[in-house]
């Protein structure tokens, strides 16, 4: 139940990472590559999947449980390392909302279509 709540609270960031993984752009991929280089050096990276929020999504962050392929592509996400972030978000909430508007998606709609 804790994981479901965490997923729901971060649904915008998760969706952004999934979207950026499916519809790749050169700029996002460059950022994701730099972020993944930091994650690969991190002592908390989970290559086995034992700390992944959703089973079968390794590699993931051993701290937050996020799939790194999505988290590193979510420009509104930052690293959650307990000693301090290894990389920061490059979008704030307003900018993230503009991304959703540009693709006609409302993550607060909960699947209801107008």
Residue-level pLDDT, tens digit, the chain, 114 residues: 678 888 888 888 898 899 999 999 999 999 999 999 999 999 999 999 999 998 889 999 999 999 999 999 999 999 999 999 999 999 877 777 777 677 665 656 655 544
Asked, for residue 55, whether it belongs to a domain, the answer is yes
pTM for this prediction: 0.80
Interatomic CA distance for residues 14 and 1, integer angstroms: 18
| Per-residue confidence (pLDDT) for residue 65, from 0 to 100 | 93
| Per-residue confidence (pLDDT) for residue 113, from 0 to 100 | 47
List C-alpha distances in Å: 12 to 21, 77, 79, 95, 97. 14, 10, 16, 12, 9
| Per-residue confidence (pLDDT) for residue 105, from 0 to 100 | 59
| Per-residue confidence (pLDDT) for residue 74, from 0 to 100 | 95
Phi first, then psi: give them for residue 78, nearest 5 degrees. Answer: -130, 165
What is the extent of the structural domain holding 54?
14-102
Asked, for residue 35, whether it belongs to a domain, the answer is yes
Question: How many domains does one find in the chain?
Answer: 1
For tokens 């540009």, the residue is: 102
């Amino acid at each position: 139940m804790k994981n479901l709540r965490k997923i729901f609270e971060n649904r915008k960031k998760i969706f952004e990472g999934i979207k950026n993984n499916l519809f790749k752009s050169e700029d996002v991929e460059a950022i994701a590559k730099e972020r993944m280089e930091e994650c690969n050096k991190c002592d908390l990276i989970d290559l086995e999947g034992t700390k992944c929020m959703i089973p079968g999504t390794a590699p993931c962050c051993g701290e937050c449980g996020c799939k790194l392929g999505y988290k590193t592509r979510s420009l509104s996400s930052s690293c959650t390392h307990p000693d301090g972030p290894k990389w920061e978000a490059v979008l704030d909430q307003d900018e993230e909302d503009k991304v959703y508007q540009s693709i006609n998606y409302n993550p607060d709609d909960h699947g209801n279509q107008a």
